[in-house]
Amino acid sequence: MNTKTYQPKHKDIERDWHLVDADGQVLGRLASQISLFLMGKHKAKYARHMDMGDYVVVTNAAKVKLTGNKLSQKVYYSHSGYPGGFKETKLSKLMVDMPERVIEKAVYGMLPDNRLRKARMKRLKVFKADTSRYNDKFQKGKEK
């Protein structure tokens, strides 16, 4: 019997591709599902100190569902670091202009705030419509 804990190596990491359709799905639940794929928590060899996650392609970002009054009340805040550099962006305006950014911001907030977050976010590909340039990565019957 082997009593040693398995420690994955960088060469052992296998990254899969997951296709997620955002049409009619609630934003928060969708973001938490995507973040689990990006972190690799669905894998048996998961190690929290390594970037074990997969690639995630999200389509139909413009058709994501928002609950409650978020569309009219939610506001995103940012600051440039300069005096007077405070900016507000309403969710309703962001959904019209860049619906991809709404999903990216939600997933970004669901990922742990550590050194691996930036690399994990690079593997997230979000598209406004039904088509994407990553269709060749998915084989028939392998979609999530």
φ/ψ of 78, rounded to 5, equals -150, 160
Query: Which two three-digit tokens encode residue 42?
Result: 């669905």
In this prediction, residue 19 carries a pLDDT of: 94
Lowest mean pLDDT among 80-84, 102-106, 136-140: 136-140
Report the pLDDT averaged over residues 79-105: 96
Q: How confident is the model at residue 41 (pLDDT cuts 50, 70, 90)?
A: very high
φ/ψ of 114, rounded to 5, equals -145, -170
Query: Which two three-digit tokens encode residue 76?
Result: 């995103």
Question: What is the tens place of the pLDDT at every residue in 43-71?
Answer: 998 999 999 999 999 999 999 999 999 99
Chain centroid offset of residue 14 CA: 18
What percent of the chain lies above the pLDDT cut of 90? 80
* Domains of the chain (ranges, CATH numbers): 17-67+99-131 (3.90.1180.10)
> Residue 21's CB: how many other CB atoms inside 10 A?
15
CA dist 139 and 68 (Å) reads 37
For the chain, give the number of residues: 144
Radius of gyration of the chain (CA): 17
Q: What is the mean pLDDT of the chain?
A: 92
Lowest mean pLDDT among 36-45, 84-93, 96-105, 125-134: 125-134
> Residue 61's CB: how many other CB atoms inside 10 A?
22
Could you tell me the end-to-end alpha-carbon distance of the chain, in angstroms, rounded to an integer?
36
Question: What is the tens place of the pLDDT at every residue in 96-123?
Answer: 999 999 999 999 999 999 999 999 999 9
CA dist 78 and 40 (Å) reads 29
pTM for this model (two decimals)? 0.89
Query: Which two three-digit tokens encode residue 11?
Result: 């060469």
What percent of the chain lies above the pLDDT cut of 70? 96
